[in-house]
């Protein structure tokens, strides 16, 4: 029974290591967009010219 308490935390620990190996592609895209916007000084959305 005691072994379970040693094995379980190790399992959980190995699980989070596994999760972290994957490259967060969606987050990277969002981060890239944010940086590009700032570097190129673009607005969040394309500027729509108002016809008045």
Partner 1 sequence: MKYSFKSLVALFVLAASLNVYAAADLEVNTPGVNAIKTSMQARHAQLAPHYVSGAVGLTMDGMIALRDAGSVPLAARQTVNALIAAENQDRDALYAEIANANAHPEWKAEIRSTFAQRWIQRAQSGWWVMSNGSWTQK
Q: How many residues bind partner 1 (CB under 8 A)?
A: 29
List 3, 41, 45, 50, residue binding partner 1 (CB under 8 A): 41
Q: Is residue 7 at the binding interface for partner 1, with CB under 8 A as the rule? A: no
Tell me, what DSSP letter sits at residue 46?
P
Residue by residue, DSSP assigns 6-44 as HHHHHHHHHHHHHHHHS--HHHHHHHHHHHHHHHHT--S
Coil, strand or helix at 2: helix
Q: Is residue 33 at the binding interface for partner 1, with CB under 8 A as the rule? A: yes
Residues making contact with partner 1 (CB under 8 A): 5, 8-9, 12-13, 15-16, 19-20, 22-25, 27-42
């Amino acid at each position: 029974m005691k072994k379970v308490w040693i094995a379980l935390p190790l399992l959980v620990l190995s699980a989070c290591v596994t999760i972290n190996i994957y490259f967060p592609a969606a987050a990277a895209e969002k981060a890239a967009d944010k940086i590009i916007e700032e570097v190129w000084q673009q607005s969040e959305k394309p500027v729509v010219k108002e016809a008045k």
